[in-house]
Amino acid sequence: MRINKFLAEQGVASRRGADEIVAQGRVSINGKVAKAGDEVGPEDTVTLDGKILSHKVKYEYYLLNKPKGCVCTVNDKKENKETTRKTVMDFLPQGAGHVYPVGRLDYASEGMLILTNDGDLAYRLTAPQNEIPKTYLVRVEGAVSTAQLSRLRAGVEIEKGVVTKKCKVTVTETDKKFTKLHVVLTEGKNREIRRMFEVVGLHVDFLKRIRIGELTLAGLDRGAIRRLTPEEVFYLKNL
């Protein structure tokens, strides 16, 4: 298998993150510095920062109901910070293996987040071409017009040359002060929903991911985490 996939299966990073680690010259295969695209077999010795990585991997899968006020990273790398912010890794139970978050929710957002060291599953859930549906509960200030809904559903340009895919947007509750909506995306651009709504003149004051495919947060309190069941893992692998 390719070196980035091998590193992802070790729980080192996502495939994209593994590519960056390889580019930094931190990985060696049989004593030689690895390059992007190198292949790794069971007989090869792979080291990261001088430490040998085992070919045997025990996969772990967790579901976290992320609260707002924490970051979706393994370490908080915010520069010039006076205090270290809480990360989603702080919610893992004692004894958990080296897992990492699949996709991201921004600091002010909350909801469903999967953490695993299964690189193939992480890739399946985040690769844009797989179009895995993710449902969000969104609350905005004031009413939402039919024209604004139409623009959001059709796709909007969130920066020069970057247009969001068509998506499902459904109003679930509204009055003069606020509107609640369900938004179903099949891609995951940075702060996509907040930027989409900004383009059409709406301010998002609450954002929560409530579903990946048909997997929900039922019974999982804010800030709580649990292992995924074998049936849930099978379901996600076959989305």
Read off the pLDDT of residues 93-122 as tens digits, 9 standing for 90 and up: 988 888 889 988 999 999 999 999 888 899
Task: Count Cβ atoms below 10 Å from residue 23 Cβ, excluding itself.
Answer: 12
Say which CATH class 133-212 falls into: alpha beta
CATH topology of domain 3-53: 3.10.290
- Report the C-alpha gap between 187 and 43 in whole angstroms: 37
- Report the C-alpha gap between 143 and 149 in whole angstroms: 11
Is the overall model pTM greater than 0.85, yes or no? Answer: no
Provide the residue-wise pLDDT of the chain in tens; the chain has 239 residues.
Answer: 899 988 877 767 777 888 999 999 999 999 999 999 999 988 999 999 998 887 777 889 999 999 999 998 877 655 555 567 889 999 999 888 888 899 889 999 999 999 998 888 998 999 889 999 999 999 999 999 999 999 999 999 999 999 999 999 999 999 889 999 999 999 988 899 999 999 999 999 999 999 999 999 999 999 999 999 999 999 999 98
pLDDT tens-digit series, residues 165-197: 999 999 999 988 999 999 999 998 889 999 999
Query: Element (H or E) spanning 8, and its range?
Result: helix 3-9
Q: Domain ranges in the chain?
A: 3-53, 61-129+215-237, 133-212
CATH topology of domain 61-129+215-237: Alpha-Beta Plaits (3.30.70)
Cβ–Cβ under 8 Å, residues 103 and 201 = no
**Residues annotated as catalytic (active site), given as ranges:** 106
Burial code of 110-130, b = ≥16 C-beta within 10 A, e = fewer? bbbbbbbbbbebbbbbbeeee
